[in-house]
Amino acid sequence: MTETRVRFAPSPTGFFHIGSARTALFNWLYARHTGGKFILRIEDTDKERNTEEALQVLIDGMKWLGINWDEGPLVEGPCGPYFQSQRSNIYREWLTKLETAGRTYEKDGAIWFRLEGERSVVYDDYLKKEVEKVAAAPVVIEDAIRGRVERAEDRDFVIFRASGDPVFHFVNVVDDITMGITHVIRGEDHLSNTSKHVELFRAFGADVPTFAHMPLILKEVGQGKMSKRDQGALVEDYQKQHYLSEAVRNYLCLLGWSPKDDREILPIDEIIDLFDLPGITQTNARFDGKKMAFINSHYVRAMPIESFTWLAKPILVEADLIPEDYDEDRLQSILALCQEKVRGLGELAQFARYFFKDDFATDEKALNKVTKKGDPAARLDEAAQALEQLSKFDAESIETAIAAAAEVSGNKPGAYMPLMRVALSGTNVGPSFYPMLEIMGQGCVVDRLRQFRATLS
């Protein structure tokens, strides 16, 4: 049985688009599912846009997502070089094959590929002139995703520009042949090119690979394909926002593919086992930032606390909330409380600020809600006094003390907790209340309650 060989052939432009990442991921999944090879091939013939820095953005993004390649840049293989800019001699050699077979001609300085079939001259209403048309046999494509697709080319097309540079169609086919590509898995927007590519494969006497055209990714709001200008379209944005790469990869797997049992959270090994081309949908997939964030929150909360702390510490250091030598045990205790509530690492610094700094903001809506009932000043005095007298300041002792103060005043403990939370953290939402007070410490808690009480005067 022939080994599966798939490829991802991006043009490095300085951005790594979600659509490109999905294409790379689906190719990688298919290679891993079939035990084949995944090749990274760089289409870098645009000398102005394709810089080393742009290439690094692409490579960093793929590594971050865990998409490793078997052949390509930094990974030697038998079919290199893997940069189109270094393959000029190969393209000239394969052009000679077509010239020898009589399948090319020159016109207006460019080299054209000659289709086989009956030719006639017709008047083109769009061009407003007579043009030569070719009655070529239709190209039938048995697409692994879309099924049977029939298309026909009716005109010869350019394969080398007047500048001497080969065009996309030519180099794409030559690279696929010389690299032994068995499956071409790419976006639906390339389907219109496929008949040209099949004509070239046949002209070279090469086997036509299996084509699989994936549905487009639509923008989150409105109509049309997601572009690099749309919100959430760039992989590097998720890196900057401290999304977990496993979560982003998990979500990308669901953009046009489903495990068929309505599950959304799957380990990558299971996805590899289940993934196959017939499972890819024919309908376009709409990007959903909320679902991406939900999946990310699941991965964040499921992490071992040691891993969460390792990722969180540099974020807190960068936000100037803690020094590099901050006590590791205390940090882990704080983060264990935060982990159950935050949706992502990107919001951690703001969420956890009150654990480390006194200059946290107070939510006005929360403040108004907790101070409009009863006598908030009295409740704060009672709570501060009860907690100040504790000889042991742990969650159980704190809960007992607040319950006792409530009983004396004729209130319920619930009359104290929201007010105290706003006083201590500036908000009425957060981690488990009594453990939060324990980790903040007796001195900090009592001082903040008294300072907040003073503002109410």
Active site residues: 228
Q: Which of 234, 186, 232 is nearest to 16 (CA)?
A: 234
In DSSP notation, 178-232 reads HTT--EEEEEGGGGGGHHHHHHHHHHTTPPPPEEEEEPPEEPSSSSSB--TTSTT
C-alpha span between 271 and 276 (Å, rounded)? 10
Residue 433's alpha-carbon distances to 379, 395, 424, in angstroms, are 17, 8, 10
Residue matched to tokens 């180099």: 171
Residues whose CB falls within 8 Å of the CB of residue 251, separated by 6 or more in sequence, listed in order: 291, 292, 295, 296
Question: How is residue 313 annotated by DSSP?
Answer: H
Residue 172's alpha-carbon distances to 21, 43, 212, in angstroms, are 19, 9, 15
Residue 293 backbone zone (phi > 0: left; psi -120 to 50: alpha; other: beta): alpha
C-alpha span between 288 and 218 (Å, rounded)? 9
